[in-house]
Structures are given as C-alpha cells and as structure tokens.
Amino acid sequence: MKSRAAVAFAAGKPLEIVEVDVAPPKKGEVLIKISHTGVCHTDAFTLSGDDPEGLFPAILGHEGAGVVVEVGEGVTSVAPGDHVIPLYTAECGECLFCKSGKTNLCVAVRATQGKGVMPDGTVRFSYNGQPIYHYMGCSTFSEYTVVAEVSLAKINPAANHEEVCLLGCGVTTGIGAVHNTAKVQPGDSVAVFGLGGIGLAVIQGARQAKAGRIIAVDTNPTKFDLARQFGATDCVNPKDYDKLIQQVIVEMTGWGVDHSFECIGNVNVMRAALECAHRGWGQSVIIGVAGAGQEISTRPFQLVTGRTWKGTAFGGVKGRSQLPGMVEEAMRGEIELAPFVTHTLPLERINEAFDLMHEGKSIRSVIHY
Ligand code: NAD
Ligand code: AHE
Ligand code: ZN
C-alpha cells in the first residue's frame, strides 16, 4: 500500500515528505495507521548523524499512537480496530530480561531493531523500489507503519491520541525514571537538568512522589514557567553563575540532592548532575542520549564517597503490561499531558517541529496525519 511519510534520506538534511510503499505485515507483525506522533530530541539526534545506530534512508519517529489496520500470521494480542502505542522497548515476556523481573530491557527484537529491519531481517518500506530502514522498531513518521506484535501496547480506545502519543516516549521516560529507576520518596530533594519534554516529565513524577525540593536547571529561562507549573520549587540558569553548577546546587542544599536527573545528553552536564548528588547516598540518573564517541568522567572519589550513577531507558517501564495503565492515569488526569503539547502540525510541516526544538521554542510538537 501507499503511505505518506517523512523520510530521512541523509544525515543532517531536512526530512522529505514522499509517498512510500508499505508491504503487508508478515508473521508476528502488525500494520498500524498512525494518527499522531510527537517529535523527541532522540529523532533529532539520529537525524544529526551522531547516533552510532543511525541508518539512512530511514523513517524516524518513535512517540506515536494509532489504530491497528491488519495483523500478520500468528498475531493474537491485537486485532484490527484496536488502539495502540508502538514501543521502542518491546516486552515479549519470555526472554531472560523480561523474566528477570529486574529490567524492562527486553531483547526479543532489539538486535534487528538496531539494524533498521524487522525481526526477519527485511524491511517493509520502500521508495521508488529502494529499501528504506525502520527506526527504533516504530517509524511513526509514516502514516502506515509495520511493527512487531511484541512492540505494541493496546490502549483504551477513548484516549486522546494527540496527548497519549507522548506516553510512547517522553512523558513515560521522565515519570518512570522517578518511580522505577530513582524510586524517589516523599520529602526527597531532586535536581533536574534540562527542561524539555523529558525533564518536565521528571518534575511531574517528582511531584507525584511528593518530593520536597525540586530544583529545575536549564540554560533557557523560557522553560522555567512550565517547570514551576509542574512543581519545580527552584529554577536555576547556570549562565547566571561564574562557578560550576554542581557547586551552586551543593551550596543551595547543604550536601547536595538525593536524586539528580540528566535530561539533555551532554556528558559535561552528566558529570555536574553526579557531582551535585548528596555525599553518602545521592544518586544520579542519566536519561539524555550522548553522541557517538562521547564518554562520561568524574573523580572516582565522587563514587567512593557514596554517590551512585545510574541510567534508564523508557523510564524502566514495561510497555505492554504498564503503559495501558499509564494511559488510564492520563485519562483520569493523574498524569498531565496537555501542557507538553506546545505545537500541533500536519506531517507536511514536520521540519518546523525540528526547528522549534532546536530554537528552544517547543516542548513537544505533535504531528497529525
Ligand atoms: P529537548 O531538546 O526538548 O530538551 C532539552 C533541554 O535541555 C532544553 O530545554 C535545553 O534548553 C536544555 N539544555 C541544553 N543544554 C543545556 C545545558 N548545558 N544546561 C542546562 N540545560 C541545557 O529534549 P528532550 O526531548 O526533552 O530529550 C532530552 C534528552 O533525553 C535527549 O538527549 C533525548 O535523546 C533523551 N531521551 C532519552 C530517553 C531514554 O529512554 N533514556 C527517552 C527520551 C529522550
Ligand atoms: N542508538 C543509540 C542509543 C540511543 C538510546 O540510548 N536510546 C534510548 C531511548 S531514547 C528515546 O528517545 C534507549 O532506550 N536505549 C536503550 C535501547 O535499547 O535502545 C546508541 O548509542 O547506539
Ligand atoms: Zn524519545
């Protein structure tokens, strides 16, 4: 079938809106009609050419919601008409990782997903007869996409796709990082570095966890109003100080914060986030994605004196078993999604969404088909 899609033909080039061919779903696969998709910084990261797994041409996008159109052989958990959120972190329930009960990092389709192909090693997209790679097992920048059955969360059909698509990545990642990875407790102090979709979701999660002080850090002060609205108690712009931001936060708090979260993808800020964690027990969670060749560093003494460095993917959330419940929470108003949607744009204007992100003018642009 034909599908309108925004194709990344080459790194660093704008997406091109073209009509691609989409092959039917094979065994264990599902054809989805995407209704909405958010644009996450990770899409921009891969488009920039910095992603070691970046492949071109590809159809990016991993924060979508849609409806099942057709199922391939053997698919039993979803049927045409079901409303779904594609998952870049699958949940097969059977692999070593799923069965461990310790992680959401299912490996059922991860190896092929990272190579831009379906689990059988082939692609379902083509343009003028040339293959186009899949992306993160989702490719939500195509109106019709094919994903593995294990990469689909079935959600309440009454959910508003324009908002719940953000649970496909950004909001779930931030909220999940607080509850599943850091396990923030009532009264704990928190510092959040980077106030995009991820950082603001961390703040929302911290407020849900009844954190005490929530220190929001960004070099763009236009983000502070929304940060306060979500629950930040202090907003700090590192540019306002002539000393290191970790020193500023340690001085603000006495000994540092109980939990810090890096939501930017900057290895220098990752260091600052670790070093502003409390002596003896403070922990720092890396959420941001850093480019090929980048490495983190700190004095080992920072760890010797009790700080812990952690990381999280999709906020530790198991997509098929936990995401439907988060959609229900959003429908009950227990997760706030509307303030994240600063812009809505048709697919044809998707490159504006990337411009708005780079200019610091958006939190989330949501694309509709
Ligand atoms: P975004 O671009 O919307 O927000 C980033 C924010 O960081 C902006 O507000 C920007 O002003 C701020 N910033 C940039 N440099 C800064 C600095 N030096 N000090 C303080 N603030 C600074 O991005 P996003 O969509 O919220 O994504 C954030 C990061 O999280 C990205 O690296 C993305 O790839 C990553 N991510 C990771 C996961 C995961 O599962 N681990 C999931 C989603 C996104
Ligand atoms: N491909 C990159 C890593 C990118 C990355 O870390 N992705 C995050 C999700 S970002 C969503 O916006 C993630 O979940 N990683 C775990 C996984 O299995 O992909 C690289 O460095 O190769
Ligand atoms: Zn994302």
The residue ranges of every structural domain in the chain are 2-168+337-368, 174-312
Q: Is 314 in the pocket of ligand 2 (CB under 6 A)?
A: yes
Ligand 2: which residue has its CA nearest to atom 12? 42
Q: Where residue 274 falls among pLDDT bands split at 50, 70, 90?
A: very high
Where helices occur in the chain by DSSP H, the ranges are 41-48, 96-100, 110-113, 161-164, 170-176, 197-208, 224-230, 245-253, 267-275, 301-304, 319-331, 350-358
Is the CB of residue 234 less than 8 Å from the CB of residue 228?
A: no
Concerning whether 98 is annotated as a catalytic residue, the answer is yes
The alpha carbon of 299 and the centre of ligand 3 are apart by a number of angstroms equal to 30
The pLDDT assigned to 12 comes to: 98
Q: Which ligand 2 atom is at minimum distance from the Cα of 136?
A: 19
State pLDDT tens for residues 17-37: 999 999 999 999 999 999 999
The pLDDT assigned to 368 comes to: 98
Q: Is 334 in the pocket of ligand 2 (CB under 6 A)?
A: no
The pLDDT assigned to 224 comes to: 98
Q: Where residue 1 falls among pLDDT bands split at 50, 70, 90?
A: very high
Ligand 1: which residue has its CA nearest to atom 35? 288
Classify domain 174-312 by CATH number: 3.40.50.720
The pLDDT assigned to 78 comes to: 98
Residues 333, 355: Cα–Cα separation, whole Å: 30
Q: Report the predicted TM-score, pTM, of the whole model to 2 decimal places.
A: 0.98
The pLDDT assigned to 235 comes to: 98
pLDDT, mean of residues 109-131:
98
State pLDDT tens for residues 342-351: 999 999 999 9
The pLDDT assigned to 362 comes to: 98
- As a whole number, the mean pLDDT across the chain is 98
The pLDDT assigned to 48 comes to: 98
State pLDDT tens for residues 48-102: 999 999 999 999 999 999 999 999 999 999 999 999 999 999 999 999 999 999 9
Classify domain 2-168+337-368 by CATH number: 3.90.180.10
Which helix (H) or strand (E) covers residue 20, if one does?
Answer: strand 16-22
Q: Is 52 in the pocket of ligand 2 (CB under 6 A)?
A: yes
State pLDDT tens for residues 182-223: 999 999 999 999 999 999 999 999 999 999 999 999 999 999
Residues 123, 140: Cα–Cα separation, whole Å: 15
Q: Is 331 in the pocket of ligand 2 (CB under 6 A)?
A: no
